[in-house]
Structure 1
Amino acid sequence: MAIAMALLLAIGIGDARAADQATPGQAAAAAVRDDGIQTELPNAPPSPEPAGAPFSLSGSALNISLWIAILCAAAVLAYFIADILPRGGIARRSRWGTATDAADPLAPRGGEAVPAAADQLAQQGRFAEAIHALLLQGLSDVRKRLDLRFADSLTSREIVRRGGLPGGAQRALRDIVERVERAYFGTHPTGAEDYRTCREHYEALRQALREGARA
């Protein structure tokens, strides 16, 4: 019996010494753990966004908006360029014409002055220049009467072939073109008879254009 009491006393003394040897931190942790005290905060809910926060676009959204604006501007520019440039060499003129042209494309201010000047050239014996002046005025009459615009690269023959002229106007203009070509590139000199013929073709051209406009 005395021996058992001695053993228990020795064990108690050992536990007390072990407790005395524990560090203060270990002792505090053990005390908190034994009492069931919570040592970690629970998962906190996400904080709500402040009301009235300004809307912001990401970088990719801004890039997309910028490209859309660029494409729209390019489409508008292409539309106006297509409306200005001739299509296939010949195109309709712009709607923005002067009031005088719209009222009478063959008004005396241009339609009669050039033939009168051509007559004067013919009287001076300058027949090649005279029929060339008639050709230029005839092309101007076609452009105004049919509301066409010619590309600078087109020749007179191409205009006759592709201009969509009425039958009588096309024949008259073609005859003038052929005589001008012979005058400048042929071996036969241009004379008074050539000019009279071109003058008749020019009047036939103007008459055909008037009839085509009324049709």
Structure 2
Amino acid sequence: MGQAAASVPPIDSAKVDAAWKTIRADGSIQFDLPEKLPEPRDPPPEWLEPVLRAIGNFVQWVGGGWQVILWVIGIVIAIALLFALVPSLREWIAERLGRRRVVEEAPPWTPTETRARALLEDADALAAEGRFDEAVHLLLFRSIDDIVAWRGDVVRPADTSRDIARAEALPPHARGVFAGIVAAVERSLFGGRALGADDWQRARADYAGFALKGAR
């Protein structure tokens, strides 16, 4: 053991001093502490603590309900994608909602007394010549023009007279009168039976009772 201790070479103080100077000369090594330590960060605002506490309470309250919430979010995203990828569906829903809103807000349809009297005069002139089919047809076609002028969204290009007669936008009494006139016109056009004076008087009385409402 004494031989091992004797084999250790003596420390060369010159080499130690040179190594120390080399380390001290390395600028990447910090030896001196800054005179002033960095100031601590500002504490979070007071309002943040109750917010974080509320979020934590909500998470604890939901518990296993996160799966339901994720399902709901997934369904909402799927519906949003469906609306984005299928424009026809978007247009259909917008049309339905728009029609329902207009039906609720728009005043009921009634032809003005001036237009109603002018129509009856023209139709009476046809009936006086025995042209009862044309007189009833005139009541129908002029009424459709009045409905379009009142609200264009009620009548679509593909609608038949029956479709117009069933339109929810029309007042119930107007639908009944309009449906009667439509039925008479269909008997004339498709049933092969010419309309007579009784058919004309019935259609005229129904229209006048609705359009003029007792006006003389």
Greater C-alpha radius of gyration: 1
TM-score (norm 1): 0.46
